[in-house]
Structure formats: C-alpha cells, structure tokens
Amino acid sequence: MYEQTLYTVVKDHVKPKVLKRMNRYKKWEYGHNAEHDLVVISKTGEIGEIYKIQDLLIALPKEKDIVEFENDRWSYTEYPKELSKIKSVFDWEEYPLDFKEKWYDYIDKEFTRREEGFWFINKGKPTYITGTNYMYLQWSKIDVGQPDFRESNRLFYIFWEACKADKRSYGMCYLKNRRSGFSFMSSAESVNLATISTDSRFGILSKSGPDAKKMFTDKVVPISVNYPFFFKPIQDGMDRPKTELAYRVPASKFTRRKLDSNEKLQEITGLDTTIDWKNTGDNSYDGEKLKLLVHDESGKWERPTNILNNWRVTRTCLRLGSRVIGKCMMGSTSNALDKGGGNFKKLYNDSDVTQRNANGQTRSGLYSLFIPMEWNYEGYIDSYGFPVFNTPKEGIEDPHGTKITQGVIEYWDNEVEGLKSDQDSLNEFYRQFPRTTKHAFRDESKQSLFNLTKIYDQIDFNEDLKNSIKVTRGSFQWENAKQDTKVIFVPNKDGRFLVTWVPPAHLQNKRYIKNGTNHPGNEHCGAFGCDPYDISGTVDGRGSKGSLHGLTKFSMEDVPPNMFFLEYIARPQTAEMFFEDVLMACVFYGMPILAENNKPRLLYYFKRRGYRGYSINRPDRKYNKLSVTERELGGIPNSSEDIKQAHAAAIETYINDFVGLKETGYGDTYFQRTLEDWAKFDINNRTKHDASISSGLALMACNKHRYAPNAPRQKPQAVDLGFKKYDNKGSTSKIIS
C-alpha cells in the first residue's frame, strides 16, 4: 500500500506550559518566531497544531468557530439572492436600515473569515484553511464554476501563508504537475490582495507575453468581476480590461462594526491599486515596486530569456533596502534542462529552507515547495478532497459523484510502462506528472529526431485551450448521396475527420475537367498527404491505420497559411470506405494529394473514379523519368533513403518554424495525435507513425519546388565552326577573328 504525507504534525515543539501561557495572553504574533524557529500564520494570538511542510515549521491558529456542513465535508455556500442584486457599495447605501441590519452579521463574518481563515469539519476532523484558501473556494469562479476542496491545495495555501508571514521570505518557488490549478489559485490571490491593498501594484509574468495576457484576461479579470459587492472596490476603466485592472476611483469601504441609523458608510480615498501583466523578458518590471508578482510557468523560459536573470531583477522590486515589502508566487512544471528547465532547477534548489545565509534567507530568497502528482491529479480526488492513492476495493466517489475505481499510483505506473519503449515521451511524462523532483527535472533524450520542447509546448498549449480551440469532428458526404456532385461537411461526434478550418463557400468543391479528368481548383491554396492501406482486415484485428492530413500554403486567397487544417487517422471496416473518405476530402477542399504508392489501391481508386488529376506525381523526378506505374497513378514511394530523409527534414523544418512558442505566440497545429506522433517518430521504424508519414507528405506536396530535380538551365556554350568573322564597316571588309 502506498502512503505519503505532505506534512507532519510536530508534537511538543513548543513546551506545553509555554504554549498554554502564550495562548492565554494571546502572545503569538503573526510572522517568524525566532525563539521557537517557526512561522506563525495565526492572526488571533493563539496557535494550535504545528505543521512541518518541506522542512518549514508552521504554526496554525487554534480551533475556533468550527462549521459543520452537510455530508461531513466542505460545501460552497450560495450567495444570498437578496445581496446578489447589489452591484456596488454605493447601491448598498440606498437600501433601508432594516435591510442592512439583516445582513451586517453575514458580511462581517465573511470579512473575518477572509482575514483569519476558516475551520470546518471534513471527514469527521476539524480542518483549517487560510483566508486566501477560503476566498478561492467561496468567492473565486474558475472555468468549471466553483473550485473543489482539495487537501493538496489546503497545504499549498498554508505554505504560501507562511511565506507571506515570514519577513525573511520573498515568496515561494512551487514545482508542480500539469493542471494542478496554480494559475487559478495565484490569480485568485492577486485579486484577493489587490482588493485590500492601497497604492500597490500586482504583476503577472509567464513563459510568454500572450500566456501572461491570457492568464490576466481569462482568470484574474473574471474572478474580480464576480466578487460580491462588499469585497469589490469601484473599478476604473472597462469592466473587462485587457492590460490593466485598476482600483482607483474613490470608493466606500465597510467598517466591521454596525452603523446606527444616522451614520453613513465611511468615505475613504481610492485604493489606487493595479494588476497588470508584462511581456516575458529578463528586465520585465525592472525598477518598479510590486506587492505581489505572480510568476507562472517559470520553468519554461527558453533562450534568449532566462528566469535566473529575470529573478535577479524582479527580486529588487519586492524590497526596500533590506526590508521585504512584496512577495513572489512562482509555480511551474519544468522543461528539459537545456530549454529553461536547468535554470528553474537551480532556482528551486537555491530555495531550500534548510540552506540559509547569515541573514536567515535562502540563496534565492524564495521557499521551495514540491507536491507530487498523485496528490493533485484530476479524476483521482475523492469527495473529501483527498487523493485516492491505491485502487479501492469498492468504488469511491469524487466531488461530482463519479466512481473512482482505480488508484492514481496504478494509473501512473501503467502510463510509465506503456512509454518505456519511447524515452522521449517517457521523460516528458515524468516532467509533466512528477512523483519526485528527479522526475520533474528529468532531461529529454538526445536521440530525439524533432524538437520535443516545441512539440510538447504546443501540446500543453492545446490542452490548456481545449475548450476554446475550434476542432470540429465530423464526416464528409456527397450531397443527396449522389457521387461526383458536391461534397458537404457534417459535424458528427462519431466522425472520423478532425477539422480546424473550412474554406469559404466560393472555394468549396472547386474543380475543373481537363482531358476528361477531374483536377483540383485550389492547388495554389494547399495539399493533402496520405499514408494509405490496402487490406480491409488483418488477422489480429489491428493493423495500420489510414492517415490523411491537409495543409495550407501561402496564397492570396482567404486561407490561413502554413496550417494543418485536417486530420484523419482511422481504419474503417473496408478499405473502400477509407478511399471514399479521402476522395471526398480532396474534392471538398479542391486540393491535390500526395500519397505513398507502395500501396496503390487508393491511387487506382482515384483513377477509376476519374480523379487522376488530383494525384500529385513524385516531385523529385521529371515526368520523363517516372516509371510507367508512376505516370499512370502518381504518388511517391517510401523505400528511397533520399525520400525518407527529405520527408523527415520537412517535418523538422515545420516544427521549428510553426509549432510551439514563436515570436508571435503559439503555433496553430491543434491536432494532438499528430503532435504526439511527431514526438515519438523513429525514422528507422516508420510503419508505426501513420500521422507523421501523411503530415510529412502534405508538407512535401506544399513545397514541391524544394524537391525538384537539381538541373538548372545553363547557357549553351559557343561552338567554333571555323568560320571567320568580318567587320563590314567602310568600303573594305576586315577580318575580326
């Protein structure tokens, strides 16, 4: 059985008599207690249990006002409908006194929970969450609505509260697994602190400017907008800004005491506080004073940017002289070591709380925290917020009532076992879902043919945007079931095609007939590549899948350039169904196809149906050098070593130029199966990589000029035939040569 704790409760670290006396007189001050070498996060003057999280001793508040929800677990409390109608504190002032008196206690209690934290019963045990954690769970709306309570997040926020309380600390360096919720949690903290701070600035950095902007617009701003009126200052500017969220306009602020009938809300000056983001760079936020810096995806900064250089700059933004006045909330998975991961690894190691200088600070000034993936993996968290480490004897319910029948450790082990034959993919899986820090900082295989970082950056980007990327699954069919007329695309959840772009109506089904054969009308817009199969069934029922990819090229039409717009990786019941699928796709887009001709049934099918004009001849030979079969069908063989090398080089060039993070943002290759196939591609064992074969052929088809026979025309040399040349000027001819 697997057992691991992220924290231990330290007994008798403070002598019982001392603890009792200090609690009686409420002598425990918020912050670092040098006498007992612990960090007090209690704001009541009393402490209870002492946690040890990653070698940092943290004193929690004493149990107080414990709430017991129904079902013995955390439960989101619905915002009262009567209050939800109030949009600002100015609207509140217009309500009668008896209405206000009814809700003063409710509002006052929310302020207290925000500042001191919150106790509730979870699985029969009193459980403490910090005020920041409470604001995240109760008042922060994320992409799925209200966040679920998770034990891992509770410990994360306790550690973060200790970083805030400890004046020696500049914040945290959090080594995480993918989709652990850090972006939302740090966004919630930005809004939480900004709405109670005056004359302060809050900044956001990520692995790129577009990532930082997206975090700001998609996470920070919506959380702020959805705050209840009594927590939300009057906002300056647009409701949903793109670059800066400003709380500047003079606003009214609640006092915690009840007001009598003659007393108005206390008028104060505006907060004059902003939250913004900056483009990624070594000198981002240089020379500015920050109350909080959120550093998202700091383990993915690639050359020429350097997270170490940036931290040296931004660290000075969080202090005045020797006094730390701001904090950094840094969290990330790690890239391969030579692609940003090495710098982040050094920063993480320099944040070890057991290694301090004479001033009591770590080398980086940050405190490192690592939470293994099994503590925070979606789908393996039970209804109480605890991870399901081991496979249960009976199904355990998650927060949404779904049964968990497998343990996360078994799931992880199965994934690792399936990737052992592919070290590149295995190493990436370790980095994305680490159970140890060694997993997190595992380097990529140097034998990888393509740039794995770019590929996996694109995969991560696609995964994060999966709800907004318009990848449509569907099928092609002949209009009114009449072949060779007009093809239409029908969205269908069971369809075999994935499509990200459909041409405008005037480009659809564009073709012409020449010498009795159909030819594509949009050859200038793009082309298809295809890895076909000939046999409908195989003995083991598996076999290679048919693969088709569509790629655009630069043109003057309304077409996105250099974009894979179609992916088809399937094996229908019969080969003829596959052939017809491919044909309909070519007709609908009006684009030609370059297919492997070692399995010629697809090309014979095209010719028999009158579409030989859609099949591209191999571009590396002149027409008069083609074999009889190649002239008849078109296509390209896969046996030639030159073709194999050219094919791999085409994919490599495309990945370097158009996949992953670029100067203008991320690439637009949204087909995850294709990206994953590129990551695993083995040029010496190409049969397993259908997607790579067809996508590479599409690239070659769109760049035929690169593979044309290297025979540049030369000027004919003069041949001396022995005739003399004469100059006929004047009255007498003269011999010139």
* Range list of H helices, 441-574: 452-464
Q: How far apart are CA 307 and CA 480, in angstroms?
A: 59
Please tell me the CATH code under which domain 472-707 is placed: 3.30.420.240
Q: How far is CA 676 from CA 99, 301, 451, 529, 673, in A?
A: 59, 22, 12, 18, 5
Bridge partners of 119, per DSSP, are: 128
pLDDT in tens, 261-301: 444 444 445 578 999 999 998 888 988 899 999 999 999 99
Q: Are strands 665-666 and 661-662 parallel, antiparallel or unpaired?
A: antiparallel
Measured N-to-C along each axis, helices 341-349 and 307-314 cross at an angle, to the nearest 10 degrees, of 50
Single-letter amino acid, residue 533: Y
Q: Which of 487, 507, 489 is nearest to 499 (CA)?
A: 489
Q: How far apart are CA 601 and CA 598, in angstroms?
A: 9
By CB atoms closer than 10 A (0-12, 13-18, 19+), residue 639 is exposed
Q: Which two tokens stand for residue 385?
A: 């917020």
pLDDT of residue 252: 44
Per-residue burial over 725-737, b if 16 or more Cβ lie within 10 Å, else e, is: eeeeeeeeeeeee
Give CB contacts under 8 A, 24+ apart, made by 46-51.
Answer: 47/14, 47/19, 47/22, 47/23, 48/128, 49/9, 50/9, 50/10, 50/13, 50/14, 51/7, 51/8, 51/9, 51/10, 51/155, 51/158
User: In a 3-state reduction of DSSP, which class is residue 363?
Assistant: coil
Cis, bond preceding 304 (omega within 30 deg of 0): yes
pLDDT in tens, 518-555: 999 999 999 999 999 887 655 434 567 899 999 999 98
C-alpha 492: how far from chain center? 27
Check if the beta carbon of residue 203 is closer than 8 Å to that of residue 295: no
* Range list of H helices, 515-611: 575-589, 601-608
Q: How far apart are CA 128 and CA 62, in angstroms?
A: 9
Check if the beta carbon of residue 578 is closer than 8 Å to that of residue 599: no
Rg (CA), the chain: 33
Q: How far from each other are the two terminal CA atoms of the chain, in whole angstroms?
A: 101
Write out the H or E segment, with its range, that includes residue 402: none
Q: Which two tokens stand for residue 378?
A: 């979606």
Check if the beta carbon of residue 73 is closer than 8 Å to that of residue 154: no
pLDDT of residue 144: 75
Neighbouring C-alpha atoms within 13 Å toward the C-beta of 401: 1
Domain borders along the chain are 142-371, 396-447, 472-707
DSSP state string for 411-447? HHHHHHHHHTT-HHHHHHHHHHS-SSHHHHTPPPPTT
pLDDT of residue 251: 40
Check if the beta carbon of residue 136 is closer than 8 Å to that of residue 149: no
C-alpha 175: how far from chain center? 16
Q: What is the mean pLDDT of each run of 10 residues along the chain (737 residues)?
A: 76 93 95 95 96 96 94 93 88 88 92 95 96 96 87 96 96 91 94 91 93 93 92 81 78 44 46 89 88 93 90 92 93 87 93 94 96 92 94 88 92 88 80 86 70 74 71 94 94 94 95 94 95 68 79 92 95 92 97 93 95 93 90 88 90 92 85 87 82 94 87 54 61 62
Q: How far apart are CA 173 and CA 163, in angstroms?
A: 10
Please tell me the CATH code under which domain 142-371 is placed: 3.40.50.300
